[in-house]
Amino acid sequence: MPLTSKSLPEYWDTYKPHSGDGMPPAPVVDSFEWTQYPGHGPGADFLGRPRTALELGSAEGREAVWLARTGVEVTALDLSPAQTARARLWWEGTPGLSFVNAEACEYLADTSTTYDAVYSRWGAVWFTDPERLVPLIGRRLNPGGVLALSQAEPIEGFYGPQAMYGNGLSGRRLPVLRWSYSPEMWRDLLKRSGLTEIEASVLPAPEPENVGTLMVRAKAPAKPAVPRRRR
């Protein structure tokens, strides 16, 4: 079976499921969290001060909602039809917020829209080959625009695509991939993609023996290089 994202909406449709009948109430959105530990690490200021932003892998839409409430025009994109439909029902009518149901690489390759910030909070960047995704993001950033992402810290020495069975070990085969790289590898990849002001590090957990958070940020060059005139 080819390892493409086409098989994955069914996996992500059940992310953060709810029990019982009907639609659960919308989650409370009172902060922008990058890490798995509420109140730990930076907030939305990690993105700078964008006017427009694209979230890749927004699921419930919490961070997108928080950002839109601060006046940013946010596009919240997710591969999963169920996640997108649920987020739309919850957050319909939030000024400046729109939802797109699409695969990140396909959307970025097709759209002509550019953004001041593109971000992924444990989202599409973790579950897509960054060698393919990051150059596509770079092309859709405005000059000086920010790419920011967070995900679990890598396990030392185990880098590259990490595969698991999405339906468990006795279910129908559904390979799900996550890409895990060290901060040094991220710095190299971002540099090769033409991004600047690169920062990549592991933010330790509040209890230092617990799993930390990989935090990455880089910018598109402030101005496209002006070609020199020939004499």
Ligand X SMILES: C[S@@+](CC[C@H](N)C(=O)[O-])C[C@H]1O[C@@H](n2cnc3c(N)ncnc32)[C@H](O)[C@@H]1O
Nearest distance from C-beta of residue 77 to ligand X, angstroms: 6
CB nearer to ligand X: give 12 or 186. 12
DSSP track, 63-84: HHHHHHHTT-EEEEEES-HHHH
CB 81 within 8 A of CB 101: yes
Nearest distance from C-beta of residue 42 to ligand X, angstroms: 15
Nearest distance from C-beta of residue 18 to ligand X, angstroms: 14
CB nearer to ligand X: give 125 or 220. 125
b/e 4-39 (16+ beta carbons within 10 angstroms → b): ebeebbebbbeeeeeeeeeeeeeeebeebbbbbbee
CB nearer to ligand X: give 50 or 57. 57
Dihedral sign for Cα atoms in the order 191, 196, 201, 205: negative
Round to whole Å and give the CA distance between 140 and 142.
7
Nearest distance from C-beta of residue 211 to ligand X, angstroms: 14
CB nearer to ligand X: give 179 or 186. 179
CB nearer to ligand X: give 15 or 165. 15
Q: By beta-carbon distance, which residue lies closest to ligand X? A: 57
Biggest CA–CA distance in the chain, Å, is 74
Nearest distance from C-beta of residue 107 to ligand X, angstroms: 8
Q: Which residues bind ligand X (CB under 6 A)?
A: 5, 12, 15, 56-60, 77-80, 83, 103-104, 121-124, 127-128
